[in-house]
Amino acid sequence: MELQHGPLLYEGKAKKVFSTNKSDQVLVHFKNDATAFNALKHSEIDGKGSLNCQISAAIFEMLKKQGIPNHFLGIENETWMLVQKVEIIPLEIVVRNIASGSLCRETPLKNGFLLPFPLLEFYFKDDALGDPLLTEARLKLLDLITTQQKSEIEKLALAVNDSLKNFFQGLELTLVDFKLEMGLNCASELVVADEISPDTCRLWDNRCEDENQRILDKDRFRKDLGGLTEAYNEVLSRIKGLS
Ligand code: TMP
Ligand code: ASP
């Protein structure tokens, strides 16, 4: 059966999701919109959608080869990806290897401090509430996942961290931290979903010492550093083995 485009199911800040004629597959369109601070800051950046779509596709393929289940099925064109239809768990799962961002704003840890263990944190995915960090007790109280799902999610997130850290290290990039979303596909399997790109990871260039110049992720936009497309392009070039 040939794949046919259906109606829009959902529009997020950086992506649109469309149904298809296959009940277990959806199409994701990566937009050029860049947002930060819960969309208080917004801009359109030419080429960002295409870069994130290609980078995400390469990462999902790499993870699949390593046996890490994810929603990726194929790339349709520059900004369109075919993925499994997934019921997203409303949690942002963050893994940190090095202190940066909100961890430095909310604790005395300094930017760049190497954490003694990967720090796994759950945030409640709710724009109206500003995606708050959850305590263990609040996570239990909200009853969004079972105890077994929680341990499966933690195991999967740490496996993704190991794979990604190695992958990026091979490209002379340091994986500072990243955010994952997970969900259940039509076979009720837990899979990594959404995207994995410089919008959702912090990546520092090992070839560069300068604290700002080394940033190859969305912090360039958050901190008004400019050069976002060039940074994402550099990440993609290294993934393709061109740089
Ligand atoms: P944070 O330091 O701002 O909490 O971000 C941790 C990681 O999660 C970082 O790699 C950026 C990513 N992230 C998202 O992908 N989406 C978000 O909405 C936020 C706040 C962070
Ligand atoms: N993605 C979030 C937003 O659009 C925040 C961020 O990535 O900093 O607001």
Distance 156 CA to ligand 2 centre (A): 23
Residue 179 has pLDDT above 90, yes or no: yes
- The DSSP H or E segment spanning 77 is strand 72-77
Residue 93 structural domain: 88-227
The fraction of the chain above a pLDDT of 90, given in percent, is 98
With bands split at pLDDT 50, 70 and 90, how would you rate the model's confidence at 164? very high
32 CB-side CA count, 13 A: 7
Q: Say if residue 111 is in the same domain as residue 33.
A: no
3-state class (DSSP) for residue 1:
coil
pLDDT tens profile 3-24: 999 999 999 999 999 999 999 9
pLDDT tens profile 56-98: 999 999 999 999 999 999 999 999 999 999 999 999 999 999 9
Q: What is the pTM of this model?
A: 0.97
Given ligand 1 and candidates 33, 177, 196, which is best to mutate, with the most ligand atoms within 8 Å of its CB? 177
pLDDT score for 232 = 98
Q: Say if residue 129 is in the same domain as residue 95.
A: yes
- Residue written as token pair 């929680």: 150
- As a whole number of angstroms, the distance between CA 79 and CA 70 comes to 19
pLDDT score for 1 = 81
Residue 243 has pLDDT above 80, yes or no: no
Q: Say if residue 53 is in the same domain as residue 121.
A: no
Distance 219 CA to ligand 2 centre (A): 10
pLDDT score for 242 = 83
Q: Say if residue 45 is in the same domain as residue 98.
A: no
Q: Is 241 within a domain?
A: no
Which residue's CA is the nearest one to ligand 2's atom 1? 36
Which residue's CA is the nearest one to ligand 2's atom 9? 38
pLDDT score for 117 = 98
Q: Say if residue 43 is in the same domain as residue 63.
A: yes
Q: Say if residue 104 is in the same domain as residue 135.
A: yes
Total count of domains within the chain: 2
Atom of ligand 1 nearest to the CA of 176: 10
Q: Say if residue 94 is in the same domain as residue 151.
A: yes
Domain containing 43 — which CATH number?
A: 3.30.200.20
pLDDT tens profile 104-118: 999 999 999 999 999
Give phi and psi for 218, each to the nearest 5: -65, -10
Residue 231 has pLDDT above 80, yes or no: yes
Atom of ligand 1 nearest to the CA of 218: 11
Which residue's CA is the nearest one to ligand 2's atom 5? 36
Q: Is 45 within a domain?
A: yes
Q: Which of 54, 86, 118 is the last residue of a domain?
A: 86
Q: Which residues line ligand 2 (CB under 6 A)?
A: 13, 35-39, 218, 222
Q: Say if residue 118 is in the same domain as residue 179.
A: yes
